[in-house]
């Protein structure tokens, strides 16, 4: 079946540090990949997505590249801010281009200190 393995947290960084949150997946076919973010007390929000191999999703300074050869979709940001503190979820949909029936990773808690 489909699965997503995500870097365990919590992750604590100082402001302006480089962030990497690892995500690898198992799926058949050509899944779409997503990163969602959940700020304290709020629902999940789509951060970025990639629908085919070698696609790079980017938003708010965050980036992730769909690597089919390594089945990975690592999240990166060059310089984190305190406001980036949140829980980050990697997810996949088995349907190309669709967000139906998402399979989520376990989530990674990020805390950025001033």
Partner 1 sequence: GAVVSQHPSRVICKSGTSVKIECRSLDFQATTMFWYRQFPKQSLMLMATSNEGSKATYEQGVEKDKFLINHASLTLSTLTVTSAHPEDSSFYICSARYRDRLTGELFFGEGSRLTVL
- Give residues 55-94 in contact with partner 1 (rule: CB under 8 A): 89
How far is the C-alpha of 54 from the C-alpha of 13, rounded, in Å?
28
14 belongs to the binding site for partner 1 (CB under 8 A):
no
CB of 7 to partner 1, least distance (A): 13
Residue 83 tokens read as: 């406001």
Q: How far is CA 51 from CA 28, 32, 68, 72, 99, in A?
A: 14, 4, 11, 13, 10
Which residue among 49, 62, 84, 86 contacts partner 1 (CB under 8 A)? 49
Taking CB under 8 A as the binding criterion, the range among 16-24, 55-63, 75-83, 99-107 that sits at the site for partner 1 is 99-107
Which residue among 42, 69, 70, 114 contacts partner 1 (CB under 8 A)? 42
Number of Cβ atoms within 10 Å of the Cβ of 110: 20
Helix, coil or strand: residue 40: coil
CB of 3 to partner 1, least distance (A): 9
């Amino acid at each position: 079946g489909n699965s997503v393995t995500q870097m365990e947290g919590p992750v604590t960084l100082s402001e302006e540090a480089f962030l990497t949150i690892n995500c690898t997946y198992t799926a058949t076919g050509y899944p779409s990949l997503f990163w969602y973010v959940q700020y304290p007390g709020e629902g999940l929000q789509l951060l970025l997505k990639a629908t085919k191999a070698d696609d790079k999703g980017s938003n708010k300074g965050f980036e992730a590249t769909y690597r089919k050869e390594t089945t990975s979709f690592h999240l990166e940001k060059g310089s984190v801010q305190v406001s980036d503190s949140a829980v980050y979820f990697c997810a996949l949909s088995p349907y190309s281009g669709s967000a139906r029936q998402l399979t989520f990773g376990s989530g990674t808690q990020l805390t950025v200190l001033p």
